Chain A
Amino acid sequence: MKIANKVKGLPPSGIRKFFDLASSIPDVISLGVGEPDFVTPWRVREASIYALERGYTTYTSNWGLLELRELISKYMFDATGVDYSPKNETLVTTGVSEGIDLAVRAIVDPGDEVLVVEPSYVSYRPCVIMAGGTPVSVSASVDNDFKVTREDLEAKITDRTTAVIMNYPNNPTGAIMPRKDLEEIADLAVERDLMIISDEVYEKMTYEGKHASIASFNGMRDNTIALNGFSKAFAMTGWRLGYACGNAEVIEAMMKVHQYTMLCAPITAQMAAIEALKNGQDDMRQMIDEYNRRRRVIVKGFNDLGLSCFEPKGAFYAFPSVKSTGLTDEQFSERLLYEKHVIAVPGSVFGESGVGHLRCSYATSMEQIKEALGRIADLLQEIQKEQAPKIRTKS
């Protein structure tokens, strides 16, 4: 059977590959899940059920329901201070995943280079490749709290560079980009006329001040495609609903691709999202407060165990280093899974700069987090015992 070369060349998701066997292990605790452990707030589910009862089962406008786009536009203004027209600057997508694909396909020609800030979520590079572009890795370093700098980007820019994909608050590190750090990136994007594809799906999950969107800087509104969605903030991963905001010309181009591939996002999810934006803020706040409490516990837990963990100020991931154990992240992760039945994703699957780290999601109950920390402590002790004799013979 013939499979297109472009697709054959795509690597399988590193996360998937590593844990094919994980689901068969009993009493496993997963810190590997990139989705909230909360079920969608009941009022949101109920609104969708009611919509079904009233017969909302049709297509919507390719753009999405106007009422929803108006609410999104207002939400984005409150969240980022940037004003997007609900008419032609706001597009409802089936998750941010589709938004990334649309953004890349709307602006990338074959041969174009797209900078991907790493460590990063695993879908950006494949999306660029499928659009015929060339992804170019840019490593954000742990020494700079995983914030990308102007110099990091400049070192990789060529005359073929058209865009940068970045994701703050970041999966997998939990890093955020404060305004002062974003400013130099914004300046560079304006100078070099680069489009910034900004995946801001964790925008509501910041634990020290409000999220700053790069679109809010001078001249950046038209140079940014802001992607956001309902999955994380409202615990709505399975509904597949996100949105893209930006300059009318680029959003209309994305709409064209969306129109011919997806047609529109599911109406049941759109009806649910209307309720989420209208009345779901309290539910969201409670979930975020709970993440923050778990964040404190897990970060302190890792640091107390000697696995140095920089303080994640956003999203719901901690990214401790396992370099002190003498094992690679993959080795550590494997032993943790098979010996202690705890899943944590090796940082190397998220790019070069993730090597030596583990991604640990704290979208898991407090009891599970504490139990997992206990099991990790056990593993560390065993590793230490194995290594102790070696060290002695050396000295």
Chain B
Amino acid sequence: MREVLELLEKDARLTPKEIAEQTGMDEAEVANFVAAMEARGVIKRYKAIVDWDKFGDEAVYAIIEVSVSLDRGVGYDSIAERISKFPEVVNCMLVSGDHDLNLLIKGKTMKELAFFVAEKIAPLQQVQHTATHFMLRAYKTEGEIMFDREEDKRLVVHP
């Protein structure tokens, strides 16, 4: 069953029939399992990994380190939830070390992102400090290496 999820994680467009052929399971069994995983939220959603640079889109990314001071009754979760709801925020995680929340945000221009941090994140009552790192280039995203694939160098027959 784990194998079904692993296959979908690599290629979300595989059909239950294809997965059944590859794993030796029954097609209906695969379909039921996938439906159950969707219902349970184990499979959250299906999406494409896009190399926007290659498309020619001038997307800008930045990593924001956010230091937070907690108030009575307000934990990390509720601040993180507030921040996560902004569509500009791609990733939001609580981390150990010299800051608390680590965000990846996405926008059209550097200016737009800078204003987003200045207007939406920094003014939050619990936010003490932010540091913004603009991303210059992505080399690996969600497990996908953005370099060209290593080509098949094998001879067509051997020996």
Contact = CB atoms under 8 A, between A and B. Distances in A.
Interface of A: 13, 15-16, 18-19, 22-23, 28, 30, 32-35, 37, 39, 122-123, 289, 293-294, 296-297, 300, 343, 345, 366
Contacts of B21: 296-297, 300
Contacts of B7: 293
B150 A34 contact: no
Given A35-B154, A296-B24, A289 B159 contact: no
Given A289-B3, A293-B23, A300-B21, A22 B156 contact: yes
11 contacts: A15-B159, A16-B159, A19-B157, A22-B157, A32-B157, A33-B154, A33-B158, A35-B154, A289-B3, A293-B22, A297-B21
A366 B23 CA distance: 13
A16 B154 CA distance: 14
Given A39-B150, A289-B3, A23 B22 contact: no
A178 to B, nearest CB: 19
B152 interface: yes
Nearest to A39: B150
Nearest to B3: A289
Given A15-B157, A19-B156, A37-B152, 18 more contacts: A13-B159, A15-B159, A16-B159, A19-B157, A22-B156, A23-B155, A30-B156, A32-B157, A33-B154, A33-B155, A33-B157, A37-B154, A289-B3, A293-B7, A293-B23, A294-B22, A296-B21, A343-B156
Instruction: Return the 8 tightest CB-CB contacts between A and B, nearest first.
Output: A293-B22, A32-B157, A19-B157, A30-B156, A297-B21, A22-B156, A34-B158, A39-B150
Contacts, number: 50
Interface residues of B, number: 14
A32 B155 CA distance: 9
Contacts of B22: 293-294, 296-297, 366
Nearest to A293: B22
Interface string B115-159: 000000000000000000000000000000000001010111111
A23 B159 contact: no
A345 B157 CA distance: 9
Interface in B6-36: 7, 21-24
Main secondary structure of the interface of B (DSSP, over half): loop
Given A293-B22, A297-B22, A300-B21, A16 B152 contact: no
Contacts of B152: 37
A330 B96 CA distance: 65
Contacts of A123: 159
B156 A23 contact: yes
A135 B21 CA distance: 41
Given A39-B150, A296-B23, A300-B21, A28 B156 contact: yes
Contact of A122 (B24, B156, B159): B159
A13 to B, nearest CB: 5
A296 B7 CA distance: 15
A122 B23 CA distance: 32
Contact of B158 (A18, A32, A289, A296): A32
Contacts of A366: 22
A35 B155 CA distance: 10
A15 B156 contact: no
Interface string B33-58: 00000000000000000000000000
Interface in B33-89: none
Contacts of A122: 159
A384 B146 CA distance: 47
A12 to B, nearest CB: 10
A39 B3 CA distance: 22
B158 to A, nearest CB: 5
| Residue of B155, B156, B157 most packed against chain A (CB within 10 A) | B157
Nearest to A18: B157
A294 B154 CA distance: 19
A297 B20 CA distance: 9
A15 B155 CA distance: 12
Contacts of A28: 156
